[in-house]
């Protein structure tokens, strides 16, 4: 990873941390004037020195951070069922589709076929939250299967 990329990631994490502390009420603006100026300048906060409020942009940033923090719970015993996520997202929503794909990959799902992702544990609730956030829910479907072709390789991949 380049130092520019690492710096960008660290900056984003700091931004999310600052916004989170402001939302929780534990941020003291008098102790952090530089950070407040930054948040005001880039539209994450609005207001005056006596009262600041988080803007829509700031709320969206905090919500997106929560979405990227989601994980799929792993039960101790596999129930023998495969959970598939299928989607047919139109080309005019390409950017959101690419982000959705990246999120599925980060959650641990693997590509089974074009627009079909597979995972051995229940995932619908977590994936639905991600799809809802990116306004893609009408384009996403879920299937639970007992048997699937290529199961041997999938079991090896997921160490089942």
* Spatial CA neighbour of 81 closest among 158, 4, 133: 158
Query: Residue 43 is part of which domain span?
Result: 3-68
9/48 same-domain check = yes
In a domain, 116, yes or no: yes
- What does each C-alpha distance from 140 to 2, 124, 133, 137, 159 come to in angstroms? 35, 10, 13, 5, 27
- pLDDT of res. 36: 78
Question: Domain with 107 in it: what CATH number?
Answer: 3.30.70.240
Number of domains in the chain: 2
92/139 same-domain check = yes
Q: Return the bridge partners of 118, or none.
A: 84, 110
pTM, full prediction: 0.72
63/91 same-domain check = no
First to last CA, the chain: 32
Average pLDDT over the chain reads: 83
152/107 same-domain check = yes
153/87 same-domain check = yes
**Cα 154 off chain centre by:** 24
Q: What percent of the chain has pLDDT over 70?
A: 85
Span 77-100, mean pLDDT?
92
**Domain edge (last residue) among 68, 96, 124:** 68
Summarised one tens digit per residue, pLDDT across range 1-55 is 566 555 445 566 777 777 777 776 666 666 667 877 888 888 888 877 667 778 8
Q: What percent of the chain has pLDDT over 90?
A: 40
Question: Domain with 16 in it: what CATH number?
Answer: 1.10.10
In a domain, 15, yes or no: yes
């Amino acid at each position: 990873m380049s130092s520019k990329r690492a710096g960008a990631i660290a900056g984003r994490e700091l931004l999310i941390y600052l916004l989170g502390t402001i939302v929780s009420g534990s941020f003291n603006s008098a102790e952090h004037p530089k950070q407040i100026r930054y948040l005001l300048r880039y539209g994450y906060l609005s207001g005056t020195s006596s009262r600041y409020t988080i803007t829509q942009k700031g709320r969206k940033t905090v919500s997106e951070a929560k979405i990227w923090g989601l994980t799929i719970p792993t039960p101790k015993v596999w129930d023998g069922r495969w959970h598939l996520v299928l989607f047919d997202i139109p080309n005019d929503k390409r950017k959101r589709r690419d982000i959705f794909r990246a999120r599925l990959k980060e959650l641990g799902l693997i590509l089974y076929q074009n627009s079909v992702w597979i995972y051995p544990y229940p995932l619908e609730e977590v994936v639905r939250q991600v799809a809802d956030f990116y306004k893609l829910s009408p384009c996403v479907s879920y299937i639970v299967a007992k048997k699937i072709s290529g199961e041997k390789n999938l079991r090896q991949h997921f160490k089942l």
